[in-house]
Structure 1
Amino acid sequence: MNTKISKQLIPLRGKPIIVYTLLAFEEATLVDEVVLVVNKGVMGYYERNIIERYGIKKVKRIVAGGVTRQESVYNGLQKVSEQTKIVAIHDGARPLVTPELIDRSIQSLGDKSGLVVSIPVQDTIKIVGSDQVIKETPDRRRIWAAQTPQVFPLEIIRKAHEMAKADGFVGTDDGSLVERVGLEVSVMLGSKENIKITTPLDLTMAQVIMSRR
C-alpha cells in the first residue's frame, strides 16, 4: 500500500488497524498475554498512542522487530513468559479476526504440533514457469490459503525458529518452519472475513465488513 505509515497504523473507521487486532486478543478468553512486535523506532508511539490510549491490558511487552517477518516472530518468541505453553502468532494487519476464532484455534490445537487457520481456495490455481507457461494445475480440493492465527506449543515453534535461523532458511509462514523439521501441522477452517490488509481494496473491503457487523 502506497503510504508513509505502516499499514497497521492506517485508520479504519476511526481507529488504527492494529487496535482492532489487539482488541480481539484482549477479548479472547484463552489469551493471557500479548507480546507485540513492532519497528524499533515506533515502540514508544505504540506504548502511548495504542496500548495506553485504548486501554489494552494484555500487552505485557513491546518488542523490537527484525528485518524480516520471520526475524520479528523469532524476537517475539524470546520474550514470551516461560510459563506459557501455547502461542498464537497473528498478523497485525488482520484486524477482522474475532475473539471466537482466536479461542477456537487455541482450543483446536490439542496435542497437535501446529495448527494454521486457513480457508479452502475457490479459484483454480496454476503453477507457472519463468516463461509464463502453465506447468501444472493442482487439485483445488487440496489447496487451502493460510491465514493467522497460527497456533503452536511454545517449545516446538521456538525450536523450529531456532533451526531455521541456524540453517539460513526463510519460510513463508510459521507453519512452514514446523513442517520442515518433520512435524505435522493441521489446518482449521478460518473465515473469509479474516483478510490481511495490504492494498487499498482490502481496506475498502474491511470497512464494508465492519459496517455489517
Structure 2
Amino acid sequence: MIDFPSRFAVVVPAAGVGKRMQANHPKQYLTLHGKTILEHTVEHLLAHPAIELVVIAVSDGDEYYPELPLAKAENVVRVAGGKERVDSVLSGLQYLSQHYAHQYPWVLVHDAARPCVHQADIEQLIEQCQTTNQGGILAAPVRDTMKRTHQDNGHVVIDHTVEREHLWHALTPQMFPLINLKSALEEGLAHNKAITDEASAMEAIGYSPLIVQGRSDNIKVTQPEDLALAEFFLSQSY
C-alpha cells in the first residue's frame, strides 16, 4: 500500500445542475447564511489542518463560479467538470496525478452539496485510514425500516422488508490512494460499470473500503426541503 502522507488534497465535483432542486441555478450556488453551498463546503474542508488543496471540477459553461472569491483562492484549483459525477471526479484526479502525484499520494473526494461536514468526522476518516493504511468512507448506519419494492399495475408495492443491521448510508468524504482510485474509475468507465461513488469503483476491482461512522447531519442538499435543514445545521456549526 502507498505510504500515508500528512497533508492531503480534496476533489470536489461541482459540475451538476441539480434538477431536483427546482431552482433557477445549480444547487451548489444556492445561498445559505450569506454564502453559497459550495463556499461553505470548501471552507469546511480547508479548515482542517491536514487539507492543503481543494480541486473543484466545474462545467466549462459555468457562469457562477468565476464570480465567487473561491475562484481567486490560492489553495483552490478549478478543473473542467464532466457530464456525470464520475467524469468530474476523474478530471480532478487526473489533474492531481499530473501535478501533485508525489505530494498527495492519497486523496479525498467530497460532494459539493454537503456543506455540513464536521471537522471531527474528517479527522476520524483520516486517522482510521492512516492507522490501517486502507481507504475508506464516512457512512451513517441506517435507522429506518427498509423496504424492497416492485411495480404492480403501475403502483409501487412492498416486496419484502430488508434487514437493516448491516446497512449504511454512504457519505463523503471518501478517501483512497490517488493512483488506485484513478485507475478504478477509468476501468469502470471503460467497462460501462455503474459507479455511484468512489467506493463502488474500488469495490469493483476487489477493494474492501473501511466504513468510518460519521454524523448523520452531514446531509447532501438534493431536494428543496433540504435547504432549511442544511441552514439549521450550519447555524449550529458557526
**TM above 0.5, one fold?**
yes
Alignment of 1:192-207 (within 5 A): 192-207=216-231
SS of 1:146's equivalent?
A: strand
**Aligned pair 1:127/2:148, yes or no?**
yes
Using the alignment, how far apart are the partners of 1:171 and 1:70 within structure 2?
A: 7
Alignment of 1:67-82 (within 5 A): 67-80=83-96, 81-82=100-101
Question: Alignment length, in residue pairs?
Answer: 209
SS of 1:207's equivalent?
A: helix
**Aligned pair 1:116/2:137, yes or no?**
yes
Task: State the partner residue of 2:108.
Answer: 88
**Greater than 4 Å deviation, 4+ residue runs:** none
Task: State the partner residue of 1:144.
Answer: 168
TM-score if structure 2 supplies the norm length?
0.82
Tell me how far 1:138 sits from its aligned partner.
2.2
Tell me how far 1:113 sits from its aligned partner.
4.2
Tell me how far 1:212 sits from its aligned partner.
2.8
Q: Name structure 2 gaps, 5 residues minimum.
A: 1-20
1:68-111: CA deviation from partner (whole Å, max 9, x where unpaired): 00111111110112121111100010001123322321222134
1:190 to 214, 225, 229: 214
**Residue identity in the other structure for 1:63:** V
Contact between 2:44 and 2:119, CA under 8 Å: does it hold in 1? yes
Task: State the partner residue of 2:185.
Answer: 161
**Residue identity in the other structure for 1:127:** R
Tell me how far 1:136 sits from its aligned partner.
3.2
Using the alignment, how far apart are the partners of 1:15 and 1:57 within structure 2?
A: 19
Aligned sequence identity (%): 34
Tell me how far 1:192 sits from its aligned partner.
1.4
Q: Which has the higher strand share?
A: 2
Q: Name structure 1 gaps, 5 residues minimum.
A: none
SS of 1:142's equivalent?
A: coil
